[in-house]
């Protein structure tokens, strides 16, 4: 991962390198020019030194002649040595242009030294006249040397003129180059810095926007930052946080829904209890009355009536008791049979009930009073209105992980719209001859009980209606 730290370092290093390169180049160039200047100056200084030394030598010689003491002789010798030294230095000034003149120059210096020596010799041998002659010659030579120095300097200027002008031009060019270079580097650095700052601020901006979105509650927008530094890492972490929050929220929503459903189921239960209570005043009274009637009928020898009355009483009791807790399918089936006994007594031959029950399935839990309203419904619609009666099939089958309960009749069928309403759990207007706890109530209770929508299906045609309930063997969800 490319750290911001590293980025800053790289930028700084690049700038530093550019600066260093320029600095080195310019310094190198300056040094070179400086050296050239030094060389040139050295040339002139050397030539000038020749003139000065030669004059000094003549002056020393003269001094010695005026006051011939050893100190002056020493001085003379010193300047003579210096003259010889300077002569050897002058030889470095030789180039193709001044070859001839320089040789002459050096020879002149030689002549000067020789003449001085001669003059000195004559002086020592007291030949004053000769000495004076040589001295005057030496003076002349010294003058010639001065002149020649000027000539040499002159030719030097001529020879090097182009070179000097070159140096001047070059320094002008360097000045211009400096400006251009500065402009270019400024431009380049601005671009680099722009790109660099963008590479930092852009992800930060994205991150800020994402944070804004989150703070406004938009949790579904993914946070994506295309950068290769810590910001990207930050964004990833942030995104993970967003996903987590999102999950938490949906979980809470789910829980709230469950709560809501529970509430609803409770309300429904209350409703059914209320409905039940409404018919409780009479049922208790009826229940006792029915028992009395049953005993009376038995005593009077009417066994069938007695049984019927017992069935009605049993049914009534069941209805009163088993409303708010789950029962087994077996119990439900028993109640159903009692109910059907009554109905058979009512409809006699008009009602044909065929039951096929898989006994292994009877231990399944089921909310109370779920089968009876459906059968009642079938009886009400398929048997009661028809003079020649109707058939009702009741089947309990094992469907692997669930128990399939089918209630089929050969009635005129139910309207499509009504089926839809029933399955969607909408309350529909009740007919007068229902027991009260309606079809819809059953559907909703089953759904709440098993926590699944797929508990009931209704197939209906003109030839009959078939209600299929799938009761899971393993009950799950809330009670």
Partner 1 sequence: MRKTGILIFCLTCIVLGYFTFTLYKKAFTSERDLPAASDGQEVKYRLVLITQELETPFWDKAGIAAREQARKNGASLEVWGSYGKNQEEFLKKLEIAIQSKVDGIIVQGLDTKEFKDLAKIKAAFYGIPIITVANDVPKSESLRKTYVGSDQYLAGQLIAEQLLDDMGHEGKVILMGDKHKEYYQQQRLDGIHEVLKDYPNIQTVYAETTDVREEIIAATQNMLNQNPDTDSFVAIKANIAGAMIHEIGRRSLVEPYYIYSFDDGPDSISLLTQGKLDGIIEQSPEKMGSLSAELILKWLKDEEVPLKSDGYLTDIRILKALEKK
**Does residue 191 bind partner 1 (CB under 8 A)?**
yes
- Cβ contact 418:478 at 8 Å: no
Angle at 147 between CA 141 and CA 149, to 5 degrees: 105
Which region, judged by CB under 8 A, interacts with partner 1, from 161-169, 202-210, 243-251, 469-477? Answer: 161-169
Q: Give, as one character, the DSSP assignment of residue 223.
A: P
CB of 155 to partner 1, least distance (A): 11
CB of 234 to partner 1, least distance (A): 25
Q: How many binding residues for partner 1 (CB under 8 A)?
A: 39
274 Cα distance to chain centroid: 59
**Does residue 173 bind partner 1 (CB under 8 A)?**
yes
Q: For the chain, what's the residue count?
A: 479
**Does residue 188 bind partner 1 (CB under 8 A)?**
yes
Which region, judged by CB under 8 A, interacts with partner 1, from 61-69, 185-193, 201-209, 331-339? Answer: 185-193
d(CA 337, CA 85): 148
Which of residues 70, 180, 222, 432 is near partner 1 by CB under 8 A? 180
Going by C-alpha positions, the residue among 267, 272, 261 that lies closest to residue 322 is 272
Which region, judged by CB under 8 A, interacts with partner 1, from 63-71, 184-192, 301-309, 348-356? Answer: 184-192
Which region, judged by CB under 8 A, interacts with partner 1, from 164-172, 201-209, 330-338, 440-448? Answer: 164-172
**Does residue 104 bind partner 1 (CB under 8 A)?**
yes
CB of 49 to partner 1, least distance (A): 19
**Does residue 461 bind partner 1 (CB under 8 A)?**
no
Q: Is 2 helix (H, G, I), strand (E, B) or coil?
A: coil
Which of residues 71, 99, 358, 398 is near partner 1 by CB under 8 A? 99
Q: Which is nearer to partner 1, 153 or 404 (CB)?
A: 153
Going by C-alpha positions, the residue among 235, 174, 193 that lies closest to residue 22 is 174
**Does residue 95 bind partner 1 (CB under 8 A)?**
yes
Write each residue from 216 to 255 as x if it is in contact with partner 1 (CB under 8 A), else as -, in one continuous string: ----------------------------------------
Which of residues 57, 141, 327, 437 is near partner 1 by CB under 8 A? 141
**Does residue 47 bind partner 1 (CB under 8 A)?**
no
Which of residues 34, 170, 257, 457 is near partner 1 by CB under 8 A? 170
* Beta-sheet pairing, 351-357 with 390-399: parallel
Q: Which is nearer to partner 1, 39 or 251 (CB)?
A: 39
Which of residues 18, 181, 234, 269 is near partner 1 by CB under 8 A? 181
**Does residue 166 bind partner 1 (CB under 8 A)?**
yes
**Does residue 385 bind partner 1 (CB under 8 A)?**
no
- The radius of gyration of the chain's CA atoms, rounded to the nearest angstrom, is 64
What separation in angstroms does the CA of 310 have from each of 48, 282, 338, 344? 154, 17, 9, 14
d(CA 106, CA 124): 27
The dihedral sign for the CA sequence 98, 100, 103, 109: negative
- Cβ contact 60:72 at 8 Å: yes
DSSP calls for 384-448: TT-TT-EEEEEEEEEETTEEEEEEEE-SS---HHHHHHHHTT---PPPTTS-SS-HHHHHHHHHH
**Does residue 358 bind partner 1 (CB under 8 A)?**
no
**Does residue 30 bind partner 1 (CB under 8 A)?**
no
CB of 164 to partner 1, least distance (A): 9
- Cβ contact 239:219 at 8 Å: no
Q: Which is nearer to partner 1, 97 or 300 (CB)?
A: 97
DSSP calls for 137-195: HHHHHHHHHHHHHHHHHHHHHHHHHHHHHHHHHHHHHHHHHHHHHHHHHHHHHHHHHHH
**Does residue 23 bind partner 1 (CB under 8 A)?**
no
Q: Which is nearer to partner 1, 57 or 419 (CB)?
A: 57
Write each residue from 328 to 347 as x if it is in contact with partner 1 (CB under 8 A), else as -, in one continuous string: --------------------
Which residues does 169 contact at the CB level (< 8 Å), separation at least 6? none
Q: Is 98 helix (H, G, I), strand (E, B) or coil?
A: coil
Which region, judged by CB under 8 A, interacts with partner 1, from 89-97, 375-383, 394-402, 405-413? Answer: 89-97
- Cβ contact 227:212 at 8 Å: no
**Does residue 161 bind partner 1 (CB under 8 A)?**
no
d(CA 306, CA 290): 9
Which region, judged by CB under 8 A, interacts with partner 1, from 63-71, 174-182, 341-349, 399-407? Answer: 174-182
Q: Give, as one character, the DSSP assignment of residue 93.
A: G
CB of 112 to partner 1, least distance (A): 8
For partner 1, the binding residues (CB under 8 A) are 29, 36, 39, 94-97, 99-100, 103-105, 107-108, 110-111, 140-141, 144, 148, 159-160, 162-163, 166-167, 169-170, 173-174, 176-177, 180-181, 183-184, 187-188, 191
């Amino acid at each position: 991962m490319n750290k911001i730290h590293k980025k800053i370092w790289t930028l700084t290093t690049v700038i530093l390198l550019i600066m260093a390169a320029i600095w080195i180049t310019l310094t190198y160039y300056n040094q070179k020019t400086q050296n050239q200047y030094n060389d040139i100056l050295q040339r002139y200084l050397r030539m000038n030194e020749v003139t000065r030394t030669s004059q000094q030598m003549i002056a020393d010689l003269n001094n010695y002649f005026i006051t011939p003491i050893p100190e002056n002789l020493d001085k003379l010798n010193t300047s003579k040595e210096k003259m010889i030294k300077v002569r050897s230095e002058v030889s470095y000034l030789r180039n193709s242009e001044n070859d001839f003149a320089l040789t002459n120059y050096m020879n002149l210096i030689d002549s000067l030294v020789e003449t001085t020596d001669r003059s000195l010799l004559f002086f020592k041998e007291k030949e004053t006249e000769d000495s004076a002659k040589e001295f005057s010659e030496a003076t002349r030579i010294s003058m010639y040397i001065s002149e020649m120095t000027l000539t040499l300097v002159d030719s030097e200027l001529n020879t090097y003129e182009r070179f000097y002008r070159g140096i001047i031009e070059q320094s002008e060019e360097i000045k211009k180059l400096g400006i251009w270079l500065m402009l270019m580097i400024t431009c380049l650095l601005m671009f680099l810095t722009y790109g660099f700052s963008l590479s930092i601020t852009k992800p930060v901006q994205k991150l800020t926007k994402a944070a804004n979105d989150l703070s406004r509650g938009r949790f579904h927008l993914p946070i994506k930052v295309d950068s290769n530094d810590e910001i990207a890492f930050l964004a990833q972490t942030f995104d993970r946080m967003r996903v987590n929050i999102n999950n938490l929220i949906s979980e809470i929503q789910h829980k709230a829904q469950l709560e809501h459903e529970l509430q609803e189921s409770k309300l429904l239960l209350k409703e059914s209890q209320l409905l039940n209570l409404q018919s409780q005043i009479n049922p208790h009274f009826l229940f006792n009355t029915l028992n009395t009637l049953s005993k009376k009928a038995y005593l009077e020898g009417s066994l069938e009536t007695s049984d019927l009355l017992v069935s009605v009483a049993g049914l009534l009791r069941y209805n009163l008791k088993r409303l708010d807790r789950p029962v087994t399918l077996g119990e439900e089936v028993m109640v159903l049979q009692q109910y059907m006994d009554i109905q058979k007594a009512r409809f006699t031959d008009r009602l044909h009930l065929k039951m096929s029950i898989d006994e292994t399935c009877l231990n399944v839990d089921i909310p109370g009073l779920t089968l009876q309203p459906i059968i009642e419904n079938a009886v009400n619609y398929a048997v009661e209105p028809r003079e020649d009666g109707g058939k009702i099939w009741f089947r309990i089958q094992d469907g692997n992980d669930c128990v399939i309960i089918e209630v089929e009749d050969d009635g005129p069928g139910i309207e499509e719209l009504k089926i839809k309403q029933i399955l969607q759990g909408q309350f529909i207007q009740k007919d007068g001859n229902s027991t009260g706890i309606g079809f819809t109530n059953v559907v909703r209770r089953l759904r709440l009980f098993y926590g699944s929508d797929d508990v009931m299906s209704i197939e209906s045609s003109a030839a009959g209606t078939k209600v299929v309930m799938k009761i899971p063997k393993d009950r799950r969800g809330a009670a």
